Amino acid sequence: MKRAEYKIPGGKLLVAETEVKDGVLITVKVTGDFFMHPEEAINDLEEALRGIQVSKIDETVEAFFGEKEITLFGISEKDFAHVLKLTLES
């Protein structure tokens, strides 16, 4: 399990934990003090990311938020992709 933290300047903290096997995301968990409505969508986001190639993080996150009516506050969708990719470097 790899972990990364990303503190948005002047704002919220995003923490990601991932497990990668053969270039595929096996486990994905995102926590932090941000806001997202509806809140349960975080589970759908994690589900959408499970089983994808790590090279597809950006497009998967973008497609997820493009399809659904989700409001983010204190963070942007790019921040999710950013913190997930940070775990790959750790």
Partner 1 sequence: MTETWRLIDMRIEDAPTQMSIDEAIALARPKGETPNTVRLYRWNPSAVSIGYFQSVEKEVNLEACEEKGVDVIRRITGGGAVYHDYNGEITYSLVAPEKDPRIPRDILASYELICGAIIRGLEELGVDCEFKPVNDIVAGDKKISGNAQTRRHGVVLQHGTVLVDSDIKTMFQVLRVSDAKISDKLIQAVEERVTNIRRYLGREVPFKEARDALVKGFEETFDVVLEPGELTEREEGLVRELHEKYSSKEWVFQR
Residues at the contact surface with partner 1, assessed by CB under 8 A: 11-12, 15, 29-39, 42, 71, 73-74
For partner 1, the closer of residues 32 and 57 by Cβ is: 32
Helix (H) or strand (E) holding 19: strand 13-21
Kindly state the smallest distance separating residue 34's Cβ from partner 1, in Å. Answer: 6
Q: Which two tokens stand for residue 33?
A: 């003090």
CA angle 63, 65, 70 (to 5 degrees): 160
For partner 1, the closer of residues 43 and 55 by Cβ is: 43
SS3 at position 34: coil
State how far the Cα of 28 lies from the Cα of 23, in Å rounded to an integer. 13
Kindly state the smallest distance separating residue 71's Cβ from partner 1, in Å. Answer: 7
Kindly state the smallest distance separating residue 85's Cβ from partner 1, in Å. Answer: 19
